[in-house]
Amino acid sequence: MQTWGPAKDEFMDTEGWPHQLYVREARRMVSDYVMTEHNCRGQVKAEDAVGLAAYTMDSHNCRRIVRNGQAQNEGDVQVGGFPPYPISYEAIVPKASECENLVVPVCLSATHIAYGSIRIQSFDSKNAGNRALIPTGSIQDAYNADTTANYRITFVTASGTINQGPITVTASDGR
């Protein structure tokens, strides 16, 4: 970078720097349920699924070191070969004691290695529609049921059907 600098023919209005840097991973919420490598491998199954993930658990190199006079990358993780696994509803909502009325589908509660699998955009975009139905369905059901509602939502995916629920919802205005 010091020798050549940024590309001369890209992002010319910002002197070769992109308008937005790619952030692969940032802060994540810690909720009552934390998605882990055990979920990815199918050793633990979330029973309250709101979507599926199935990408390889991947984490890029953490650093480059010199060993025996040669540069080597350290910290790369690439573990795959597992079938789609459910993403927990509890992993996308904050702890009830910390916040209400919030769904956090992107910075969900997951370990670093599990997030490496869940974060992939193709899965994330497919699951986003499913996640969007959660607050809509619960608010409408609670409003129509006068005080509380139990709802079950069904997600149809390329690899099968996952049933969600039941979840009890209480309308805050008593209706």
Tell me the pLDDT tens digit for each residue of 56-89: 888 888 888 999 999 998 888 888 888 889 888 8
**Residue 29 domain-assigned?**
yes
**Residue 143 domain-assigned?**
no
**Residue 15 domain-assigned?**
no
Rg (the chain; Cα; Å): 21
Answer yes or no: are the C-beta atoms of 65 and 72 closer than 8 Å. Answer: yes
The confidence band for 168, taking pLDDT boundaries of 50, 70 and 90, is very low
Euclidean distance between CA atoms 166 and 150, whole angstroms: 6
Number of domains present in the structure of the chain? 1
**Residue 100 domain-assigned?**
yes
**Residue 105 domain-assigned?**
yes
Query: What per-residue confidence (pLDDT) applies to 130?
Result: 58
Closest CA to 152 of 133, 137, 165: 165
Using a pLDDT cut of 90, give the percent of the chain over it. 18
49: helix, strand or coil = strand
Q: Does the pLDDT of residue 129 top 80, yes or no?
A: no
Average pLDDT, the chain: 75
Structural domain of residue 80, as residue ranges? Answer: 23-133
**Residue 82 domain-assigned?**
yes
pTM above 0.85, yes or no: no
